[in-house]
């Protein structure tokens, strides 16, 4: 299937067409704790291959990659090196016809998330859907309704922080009031590169560099900042009431459409809290930076480690390990603070896949589910609307699903 055919298929395939192919009566493939769940990976780019590596090297018996799919032959060849025995497909609909596939990983460009996830559900499969859950707000709301109507199937969204022991501990500390009254959240995710992939054939530019074009991508907001937004949603059981964004194509004026320099301000009225979320492709000094500030202390997080910095006269909460000796001070902060966990955590995808497996076996809802995924998708969409329009966007009651 060529790119034009694929994009036309993704754009036009509605629930009626998918129903005609798969039928509403199909049920998911039976699974047991004794055998690994057969997985089909749809999308063999960096993220899809990364999940394949994690499945292969996790040391668990949760999943086995039995099929993979991509439009590009070189990516199928790369995937085959990871899982030589898996069946390769260029059309994901044929992968969904494979009876050995009980669950799918959807790791495709954002604009295609909804159509493929919907087809997979209609085919009776469990779905691990990479973030951001959907491209548009209507898609998010429709997917919630669809998942609710199919309680025997699991849909999990790829926000890994919800599964990290570090971030779970941070949530516990905040919910216990150890930071006191939190009024500011400062998040950055910066890089110093053009975010562009090499393209051997100009005809493949938009297929390979889809992140740079508004037709397919939510840009830096969806790909990076939505992770930190999702964690705030989870910890505080909240959503932003107002979003204002500023940005532009300020660094790489190379024909891209999504912004390479972004700053968002999110107002959480019910909490009296402001979230500052920024990202640039023009400076890597701060890299990943995530600080949650309360009147009793600050928590500063990296991907796999975190430190607690008490305000003057505030003792560290019990359970925090004294990590001052040999600690690395965070930029702009005095001293080393206190380590939240004694050692770095593993890749969050490992913990997320464990929960996905348990959800399939038990029927419980995963921590990162269609409802929380919808909140993240709506937030990212509103942020991008504000960025491109130069106007604030507001949360509506119908978004709280």
Handedness of CA 237, 242, 248, 251 (dihedral sign): negative
Across 34-58, average pLDDT: 96
Across 366-393, average pLDDT: 98
Who's near 357: CB < 8 A, 6+ residues apart? 37, 60, 62, 63
What pLDDT, on a 0 to 100 scale, did the predictor assign at position 31? 60
What pLDDT, on a 0 to 100 scale, did the predictor assign at position 336? 75
Whether 171 and 234 have beta carbons less than 8 Å apart is answered as yes
Angle, CA of 356, 362 and 365, to the nearest 5°: 55
- In this prediction, residue 112 has a pLDDT band, given cuts at 50, 70 and 90, of very high
pLDDT at 376 over 70: yes
Across 301-311, average pLDDT: 94
Across 272-280, average pLDDT: 98
What pLDDT, on a 0 to 100 scale, did the predictor assign at position 335? 56
Q: Which CATH class is domain 176-345+383-393?
A: alpha beta
Domain coordinates of the chain in residue numbers? 3-162+350-369, 176-345+383-393
Q: What integer best gives the mean pLDDT of the chain?
A: 90
- In this prediction, residue 319 has a pLDDT band, given cuts at 50, 70 and 90, of low
pLDDT at 323 over 90: no
What pLDDT, on a 0 to 100 scale, did the predictor assign at position 329? 43
Specify which residues 199 forms β-bridges with: none
Integer angstrom CA distances of residue 136 from 6, 30, 49, 83, 351: 19, 32, 26, 33, 28
- In this prediction, residue 115 has a pLDDT band, given cuts at 50, 70 and 90, of very high
Across 261-285, average pLDDT: 98
Superfamily of domain 3-162+350-369: NAD(P)-binding Rossmann-like Domain (3.40.50.720)
What pLDDT, on a 0 to 100 scale, did the predictor assign at position 313? 82
Q: In the block, which residue shows the tokens 């089909």?
A: 40
């Amino acid at each position: 299937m060529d790119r034009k055919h694929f994009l036309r298929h993704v754009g036009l395939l509605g629930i009626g067409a998918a129903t005609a192919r798969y039928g509403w009566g199909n049920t998911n493939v039976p699974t047991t704790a004794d055998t690994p769940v057969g997985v089909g990976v749809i999308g063999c780019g960096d993220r899809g291959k990364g999940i394949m590596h994690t499945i292969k090297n996790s040391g668990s018996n949760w999943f086995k990659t039995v099929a993979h799919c991509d439009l590009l032959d070189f990516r199928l060849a790369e995937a085959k090196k990871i899982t030589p025995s898996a069946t390769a497909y260029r059309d994901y609909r044929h992968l969904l016809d494979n009876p050995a596939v009980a669950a799918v990983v959807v790791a495709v460009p954002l604009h295609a998330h909804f159509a493929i996830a919907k087809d997979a559900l209609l085919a009776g499969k469990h779905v691990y859907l990479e973030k951001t859950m959907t491209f548009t707000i209507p898609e998010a709301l429709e997917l919630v309704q669809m998942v609710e109507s199919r309680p025997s199937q699991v849909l999990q969204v790829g926000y890994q922080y919800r599964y990290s022991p570090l971030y779970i501990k941070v949530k516990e500390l905040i919910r216990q009031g150890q930071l006191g009254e939190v009024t500011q959240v400062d998040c950055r995710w910066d890089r110093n590169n053009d975010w562009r992939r090499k393209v051997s054939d100009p005809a493949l530019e938009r297929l390979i560099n889809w992140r740079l074009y508004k037709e397919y991508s939510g840009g830096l907001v969806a790909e990076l900042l939505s992770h930190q937004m999702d964690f705030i949603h989870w910890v505080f059981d909240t959503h932003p009431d107002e979003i204002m964004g500023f940005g532009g194509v300020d660094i790489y004026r190379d024909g891209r459409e999504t912004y390479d320099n972004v700053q968002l301000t999110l107002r959480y009225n019910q909490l009296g809290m402001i979230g500052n979320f920024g990202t640039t492709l023009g400076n890597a000094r701060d890299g990943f930076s995530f600080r949650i500030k309360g009147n009793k202390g600050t928590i500063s997080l990296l991907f796999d480690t975190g430190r607690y910095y008490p305000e003057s006269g505030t003792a560290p909460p019990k359970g925090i390990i004294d990590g001052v000796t040999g600690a690395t001070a965070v930029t702009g902060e005095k001293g080393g603070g206190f380590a939240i966990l004694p050692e770095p955590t593993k890749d969050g995808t490992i913990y997320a896949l464990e929960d996905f497996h348990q959800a399939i076996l038990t029927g419980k809802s995963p921590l990162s589910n269609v409802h929380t995924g919808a909140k993240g998708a709506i937030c990212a969409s509103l942020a991008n609307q504000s960025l491109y329009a130069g106007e604030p966007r507001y949360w509506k009651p119908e978004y709280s699903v």
